[in-house]
Amino acid sequence: MLPSEKLVGFVAITDGARAKVFYEKLGLTFVSEDPFAVVFDSNGNMIRLTKVNEFRPQPFTVLGWQVSDIVAAVKRLQSAGVTFERYGEFMQQDELGIWTAPGGTKVAWFKDPDGNTLSVSQH
Protein backbone atom coordinates (compact mmCIF):
# COMPACT_ATOMS: atom_id res chain seq x y z
CA MET A 1 0.00 0.00 0.00
CA LEU A 2 2.53 2.67 1.03
CA PRO A 3 5.20 1.96 -1.61
CA SER A 4 2.98 3.52 -4.26
CA GLU A 5 2.47 6.71 -2.23
CA LYS A 6 4.73 9.77 -2.06
CA LEU A 7 7.08 10.11 0.87
CA VAL A 8 7.05 13.24 3.05
CA GLY A 9 10.30 14.01 4.87
CA PHE A 10 10.30 15.88 8.21
CA VAL A 11 13.30 17.80 9.55
CA ALA A 12 13.31 19.85 12.78
CA ILE A 13 14.42 23.49 12.58
CA THR A 14 14.46 26.40 15.02
CA ASP A 15 14.54 29.38 12.64
CA GLY A 16 12.28 29.31 9.59
CA ALA A 17 13.87 32.26 7.79
CA ARG A 18 17.40 30.92 8.20
CA ALA A 19 16.36 27.42 7.11
CA LYS A 20 14.48 28.78 4.08
CA VAL A 21 17.60 30.56 2.81
CA PHE A 22 19.73 27.43 3.27
CA TYR A 23 17.35 24.94 1.66
CA GLU A 24 16.86 27.29 -1.30
CA LYS A 25 20.67 27.12 -1.77
CA LEU A 26 20.21 23.39 -2.30
CA GLY A 27 18.01 24.16 -5.30
CA LEU A 28 14.81 22.95 -3.68
CA THR A 29 11.53 24.62 -4.64
CA PHE A 30 9.91 26.67 -1.88
CA VAL A 31 6.23 25.78 -1.52
CA SER A 32 4.92 27.54 1.59
CA GLU A 33 5.51 28.69 5.12
CA ASP A 34 3.14 28.84 8.06
CA PRO A 35 3.56 29.01 11.85
CA PHE A 36 4.35 25.29 11.94
CA ALA A 37 6.69 24.57 9.03
CA VAL A 38 8.58 25.70 5.96
CA VAL A 39 7.69 23.39 3.07
CA PHE A 40 9.85 22.55 0.05
CA ASP A 41 9.45 20.30 -2.95
CA SER A 42 12.31 18.01 -3.89
CA ASN A 43 11.57 16.27 -7.21
CA GLY A 44 7.93 15.69 -6.27
CA ASN A 45 8.62 14.82 -2.64
CA MET A 46 7.55 17.13 0.17
CA ILE A 47 10.08 18.15 2.79
CA ARG A 48 8.51 19.77 5.85
CA LEU A 49 10.98 21.74 7.92
CA THR A 50 9.10 21.59 11.19
CA LYS A 51 9.53 24.60 13.47
CA VAL A 52 10.41 23.67 17.04
CA ASN A 53 11.45 25.79 20.03
CA GLU A 54 14.29 23.56 21.17
CA PHE A 55 16.28 21.05 19.21
CA ARG A 56 19.39 18.90 19.53
CA PRO A 57 20.62 17.51 16.19
CA GLN A 58 21.04 13.78 15.90
CA PRO A 59 24.46 12.23 15.21
CA PHE A 60 23.33 10.59 11.96
CA THR A 61 22.04 11.58 8.52
CA VAL A 62 18.40 12.68 8.64
CA LEU A 63 17.89 13.49 4.96
CA GLY A 64 19.79 12.56 1.83
CA TRP A 65 19.60 12.78 -1.93
CA GLN A 66 20.70 10.06 -4.35
CA VAL A 67 22.53 11.74 -7.24
CA SER A 68 23.84 10.38 -10.53
CA ASP A 69 27.16 12.29 -10.36
CA ILE A 70 28.34 13.00 -6.83
CA VAL A 71 31.39 15.01 -7.88
CA ALA A 72 29.23 17.40 -9.92
CA ALA A 73 26.64 17.61 -7.12
CA VAL A 74 29.26 18.41 -4.47
CA LYS A 75 30.87 21.06 -6.67
CA ARG A 76 27.48 22.69 -7.40
CA LEU A 77 26.59 22.74 -3.72
CA GLN A 78 30.02 24.12 -2.78
CA SER A 79 29.59 26.91 -5.33
CA ALA A 80 26.25 27.73 -3.61
CA GLY A 81 28.08 28.07 -0.28
CA VAL A 82 27.51 24.62 1.22
CA THR A 83 30.38 23.31 3.36
CA PHE A 84 31.02 19.58 3.46
CA GLU A 85 31.92 17.74 6.63
CA ARG A 86 35.29 16.14 7.24
CA TYR A 87 35.52 13.16 9.56
CA GLY A 88 39.32 13.02 9.84
CA GLU A 89 41.01 9.70 10.35
CA PHE A 90 37.67 8.01 10.98
CA MET A 91 36.86 7.97 7.26
CA GLN A 92 39.04 8.27 4.21
CA GLN A 93 37.47 11.10 2.20
CA ASP A 94 38.79 12.61 -1.01
CA GLU A 95 39.63 16.29 -1.52
CA LEU A 96 35.92 17.13 -1.98
CA GLY A 97 34.86 15.31 1.19
CA ILE A 98 33.49 12.26 -0.62
CA TRP A 99 33.81 8.91 1.15
CA THR A 100 33.72 5.64 -0.80
CA ALA A 101 32.09 2.79 1.13
CA PRO A 102 33.49 -0.73 0.84
CA GLY A 103 30.62 -1.65 -1.53
CA GLY A 104 31.38 1.30 -3.82
CA THR A 105 28.67 3.77 -2.74
CA LYS A 106 30.01 7.32 -2.55
CA VAL A 107 28.71 9.71 0.13
CA ALA A 108 29.36 13.32 1.15
CA TRP A 109 27.79 14.97 4.20
CA PHE A 110 26.89 18.54 5.06
CA LYS A 111 24.86 20.26 7.78
CA ASP A 112 21.97 22.67 7.71
CA PRO A 113 21.97 25.75 9.98
CA ASP A 114 20.44 23.74 12.85
CA GLY A 115 23.13 21.06 12.65
CA ASN A 116 21.01 18.41 10.90
CA THR A 117 23.28 16.10 8.92
CA LEU A 118 22.29 15.87 5.27
CA SER A 119 23.96 13.92 2.48
CA VAL A 120 24.35 13.30 -1.22
CA SER A 121 25.17 9.81 -2.38
CA GLN A 122 25.91 7.97 -5.59
CA HIS A 123 25.03 4.28 -5.70
**DSSP state, residue 93:** B
**Is the same domain home to 42 and 75?**
no
Claim to verify: residue 49 and residue 77 sit in the same structural domain? no
Domain that holds residue 49: 1-53
The mean predicted confidence, pLDDT, of the chain is 96
- Neighbouring residues of 105: CB distance < 8 A, sequence distance ≥ 6: 121, 122, 123
Q: How far is CA 17 from CA 37, 49, 51, 94, in A?
A: 11, 11, 10, 33
Instruction: Give the end of a domain, one of 15, 30, 53.
Output: 53
**Domain shared by 66 and 47, yes or no:** no
- Predicted local distance difference test score (pLDDT) of residue 106: 98
Angle in degrees, CA 115, 81, 57, rounded to 5:
5
- pTM here? 0.94
Asked whether the predicted pLDDT for residue 65 surpasses 90, the reply is: yes
Return the bridge partners of 48, or none. Answer: 10, 39
CATH of residue 111's domain is: 3.10.180.10
The percent of residues above 70 in pLDDT, for the chain, comes to 100
- At 10-40, the pLDDT tens digits run 999 999 999 999 999 999 999 999 999 999 9
Q: How many CB atoms lie within 10 A of CB 99?
A: 19
Amino acid 90: pLDDT = 79
Residue 91 clears pLDDT 90, i.e. is over it: no
For the chain, how many structural domains are there in total?
2
